[in-house]
C-alpha cells in the first residue's frame, strides 16, 4: 500500500467515524427529547400534596397553552385533581388531555378558554365543578365519563359551538344554567337517573329541536327551556310534579305539549309567547294554572281544563286570538282578570261544574265580539250573564257534518258531542204531530263524544230522534 492509498483510507475512516457520530446523535436526539418533554411538562405545573400525603392536586399552570398533555405524575406523586381556575382565561389553550387517575375537575378550571376545541376526560373523573367550561366558545363536543353523578351550575354555559353531548346514565341532577347559551346544541336525552332539571338549564339553546325527558324527573326549574325556539314537541313525563315559572317561555316553534298526569301546578308564564302552540294536553292532577301561563299562544285553537284545576290565573290565556273553544272542569272556583282577554275567536266557554265567583270587572272574556258561557243541567249558581257574557244551558248536540251522520253499515246513526262523563238518552218517535218519545239508547260519553246507531230504523216509514240528559 502506498502513502496515497493509506492517506485515502485514513480520510475515509475519519468521515465514517464522523458519520457514525452524527447518526448516533440523530438517533439519540428523539430519545433525549422524549425524556425531556415530561420534565418540561411537569415544570409547567404547580401542585399541592393532598391530605393522604401520596397524591397531589394541580394548583396552577405556567405553560404557553396550545396542545397540553397533563402528566399523570409530578415528582413521583400521582395527579388526582385540579384546583379551581387552573387554566382559567387561557385563550391560547386549544387541546387538553387529562390523565387517567384524575377524579375531579375544579370550578372554573377551563373558564373562558375561548380557543379550546378538544378535551379528553378519563373515566376516573367523578365530579366536574361549577362553570368548569364556562364560555369555551370553540368546544364542539365532549364526552362526560360514566362515573359523573351531577352536572353543576353553568358548567357549559355559553359553549356556543357545542353540538352534541351525552349525559351519562348515573347523573341525577342538571344544575342551574348547565347548558345555558349552548346555541348549537341540537338534541339532548336526559337519562332516567336524573330527578331534577335546574333553573335555566337549557336557556337560549335555540338549535335544540329534540329533547327526551327521563321518566324520573320530578321538577323542571324556572326558565329551564326558555327561548328554545327549535323545539316543536315536548312530552313532560308523569314523574314531574312541578313546572317552574317561564319553563318554556318564548319557545316560538313549539306546536304540541303533553303535560304528565302528576303535574300539580303550571307556573307563571310557563308557555307564554309560544306562538306556534296549537295543542296542549293538561294532566289530570293539575290544580292551578299560573298567571300568563299561555299568554300569547297565537295558534292555540282549543283547550280542556281538567276537573282538578281550582284556579285559572290572571291573563293565563290572554292574547290567544285563534282560541275558539274552552272546556272548564268541575272544580274551578276562580278565574283571574284578563284570563281570556283578546281571545278574539272565542265563541263558547263550556263549564262542567257550578258557577265560579265572577270577577265583575268584565275583563275575563273581553274582546270585540261576546261569546256564550254554557253550563250543564243540575249545576248551580248560574245567572243570565257571567262577567258580561250571556249564559245558556249546555245540551248534547247531534253532529251532522262529520261524515258519520246518516245510513251506515250498522244502521242509521250519528255522533253526539257533550261533556265527558255525561249520560245521554236517545229518544225516538214516528210522528212529530203527536209525538210519543220512547228511549232507544242510553249512552255515557267518553272524551266528550259518543256514536249512536239504530239498526231498527228500516222497520218504520219515518223515525225521529231527540237527545236529553238522564
pLDDT tens-place string over residues 183-233: 999 999 999 999 999 999 999 999 999 999 999 999 999 999 999 999 999
Q: What's the pTM?
A: 0.82
Element (H, E) at 236: strand 233-236
Is a pLDDT exceeding 80 seen at residue 56?
yes
Q: Between 414 and 24, where is the model more confident? A: 414
Closest CA to 386 of 419, 351, 418: 351
The x, y and z cell numbers of residue 376, run together, are 250543564
Q: Of the ranges 54-58, 107-111, 363-367, which one carries the lowest mean pLDDT score?
A: 363-367
Closest CA to 155 of 201, 187, 93, 98: 201
Per-residue model confidence as pLDDT tens digits over 4-25: 444 444 544 444 545 444 444 4
Is a pLDDT exceeding 50 seen at residue 37?
no
Whole-number percent of the chain with pLDDT over 70: 90
What is the rounded average pLDDT for all residues in the chain? 89
Confidence tier at 150 by pLDDT (50, 70, 90): confident
- Residues 264, 285: Cα–Cα separation, whole Å: 5
- Residues 369, 25: Cα–Cα separation, whole Å: 95
- Residue 399 has what DSSP assignment? E
Alpha carbon distances (Å) from 251 to 132, 230, 275, 276, 344: 28, 7, 8, 8, 23
pLDDT of residue 384: 93
- Residue 459 has what DSSP assignment? G
Whole-number percent of the chain with pLDDT over 90: 79
Average pLDDT over residues 366-383: 86
Q: Is the dihedral of CA 409, 410, 412, 418 positive or negative?
A: negative
Per-residue model confidence as pLDDT tens digits over 74-83: 999 999 998 9
- Domains of the chain as residue ranges with CATH: 397-469 (2.60.40)
Average pLDDT over residues 248-271: 95
The set of residues, in sequence order, having a beta carbon less than 8 Å from that of 456 and lying 6+ positions away, is: 411, 440
Is a pLDDT exceeding 50 seen at residue 453?
yes
Average pLDDT over residues 65-70: 95
DSSP letter for each residue of 93-159: EEEEEPPTT--EE-TTTTTT-TT--EEE--TT--EE-TTTTTT-TT--EEE--TT--EE-TTTTTT-
Closest CA to 439 of 398, 469, 459: 469
Residues 170 and 144: beta-carbon distance below 8 Å: no
- For 382-457, where are the E strands, in sequence order? 385-386, 389-393, 397-399, 406-408, 411-417, 423-429, 438-444, 449-454
pLDDT of residue 367: 65
Amino acid at each position: 500500500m502506498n502513502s496515497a492509498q493509506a492517506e485515502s483510507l485514513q480520510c475515509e475512516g475519519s468521515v465514517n467515524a464522523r458519520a457514525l457520530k452524527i447518526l448516533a446523535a440523530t438517533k439519540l436526539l428523539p430519545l433525549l427529547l422524549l425524556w425531556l418533554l415530561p420534565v418540561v411538562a411537569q415544570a409547567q405545573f404547580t401542585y399541592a400534596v393532598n391530605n393522604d400525603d401520596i397524591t397531589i392536586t394541580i394548583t396552577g399552570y405556567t405553560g404557553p397553552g396550545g396542545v397540553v398533555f397533563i402528566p399523570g405524575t409530578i415528582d413521583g406523586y400521582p395527579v388526582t385533581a385540579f384546583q379551581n381556575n387552573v387554566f382559567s382565561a387561557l385563550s391560547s389553550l386549544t387541546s387538553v388531555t387529562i390523565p387517567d387517575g384524575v377524579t375531579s375537575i375544579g370550578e372554573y378550571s377551563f373558564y373562558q378558554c375561548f380557543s379550546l376545541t378538544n378535551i379528553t376526560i378519563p373515566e376516573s373523573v367523578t365530579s366536574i365543578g361549577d362553570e368548569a367550561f364556562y364560555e369555551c366558545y370553540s368546544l364542539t363536543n365532549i364526552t362526560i365519563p360514566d362515573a359523573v353523578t351531577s352536572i353543576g351550575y353553568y358548567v357549559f354555559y355559553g359553549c356556543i359551538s357545542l353540538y352534541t353531548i351525552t349525559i351519562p346514565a348515573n347523573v341525577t341532577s342538571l344544575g342551574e344554567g348547565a347548558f345555558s347559551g349552548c346555541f348549537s346544541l341540537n338534541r339532548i336525552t336526559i337519562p332516567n337517573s336524573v330527578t331534577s332539571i335546574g333553573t335555566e338549564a337549557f336557556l337560549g339553546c335555540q338549535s335544540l329541536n329534540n329533547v327526551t325527558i327521563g321518566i324520573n324527573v320530578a321538577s323542571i326549574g324556572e326558565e329551564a327551556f326558555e327561548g328554545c325556539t327549535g323545539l316543536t314537541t315536548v312530552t313532560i313525563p308523569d314523574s314531574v310534579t312541578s313546572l317552574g315559572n317561564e319553563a318554556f317561555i318564548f319557545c316560538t316553534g313549539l306546536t304540541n305539549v303533553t303535560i304528565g298526569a302528576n303535574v300539580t301546578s303550571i307556573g307563571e308564564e310557563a308557555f307564554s309567547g309560544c306562538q306556534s302552540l296549537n295543542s296542549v294536553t293538561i294532566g289530570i292532577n293539575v290544580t292551578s294554572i299560573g298567571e300568563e301561563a299561555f299568554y300569547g299562544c297565537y295558534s292555540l285553537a282549543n283547550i280542556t281544563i281538567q276537573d282538578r284545576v281550582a284556579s285559572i290565573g290572571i291573563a293565563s290565556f290572554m292574547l290567544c286570538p285563534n282560541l275558539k273553544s274552552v272546556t272548564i272542569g268541575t272544580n274551578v272556583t276562580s278565574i283571574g282578570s284578563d284570563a281570556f282577554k283578546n281571545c278574539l275567536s272565542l265563541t263558547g266557554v263550556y263549564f262542567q261544574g257550578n258557577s265560579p265567583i265572577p270577577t265583575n270587572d268584565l275583563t275575563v272574556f273581553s274582546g270585540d265580539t261576546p261569546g256564550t258561557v254554557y253550563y250543564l243541567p243540575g249545576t248551580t249558581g248560574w245567572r243570565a250573564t257571567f262577567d258580561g257574557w250571556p249564559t245558556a244551558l249546555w245540551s248534547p248536540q247531534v253532529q251532522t257534518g262529520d261524515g258519520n251522520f246518516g245510513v251506515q253499515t250498522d244502521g242509521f246513526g250519528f255522533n253526539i258531542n257533550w261533556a265527558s262523563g255525561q249520560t245521554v238518552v236517545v229518544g225516538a218517535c214516528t210522528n212529530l204531530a203527536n209525538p210519543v218519545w220512547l228511549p232507544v239508547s242510553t249512552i255515557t260519553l267518553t272524551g266528550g263524544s259518543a256514536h249512536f246507531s239504530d239498526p231498527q230504523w228500516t222497520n218504520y216509514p219515518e223515525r225521529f230522534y231527540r237527545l236529553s240528559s238522564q
